[in-house]
Chain A
Amino acid sequence: MGLDIRLPIGMMFSLIGLLLAGSGFLTRSDAAMYHRSLDININLWWGIILLAFGLLMLIPALLAKKD
């Protein structure tokens, strides 16, 4: 088949996670914005989770491709 499914999925989650975590970092001092999410910087944390998930898929796929 030639296509490792972990590559596109890992790419997507990594990029979306980066985007969300980045916006969370840039808006970390905006307390009013995060009042809705119980004063938790949910963009940052959810972005980190998605990024971690994405890397979990992407790194093994890239290593397998290298082999």
Chain B
Amino acid sequence: MRRPELPVLIGNPLQILLLACSFALAGYAGVRLLDGAWFEIALWFVGAAVVHDLVLVPLYGAADQTLLRTFEAADRRTWIPYIRVPAALSLLLLLVWFPLITGRVTHRYTGATGHPPADFATRWLLLTAALFGASAMVFAIGPWRSGGGRREGSGRGRPG
């Protein structure tokens, strides 16, 4: 096989210049960012990307696949969105408000803000219940809206 030409190996020179400029600014801010517990800070920075790409994405991907297979096995493919949407939204709320919902900051939170010990876990569960409830309602009125047609069949959505 013929070796690629040198210009091909280098790539777009404008892109290289732009990225060099970007790295210079990132370096300037980066040495200041790392001034302190540099190893831990770098670990948080790189770790955030690694944990997201190699743990979080495969994890929710696998959960979704499990859901898909379960409903396909039961021949109820069209039911999937009614579970997937409320479940994902509920997990999104849990992900964002994890410290408050799990109560790991309750002591500091109530001490600092003077708020009565708020039960964020209960609020999250109620929101989750509301999400699944709303989904169930949409599911129930679905056949009525489409003129009593049967729900079984191919996916509702047209692939874009």
The answer on A and B forming one complex is: no
Report which A residues bind B (CB closer than 8 A): none
Report which B residues bind A (CB closer than 8 A): none
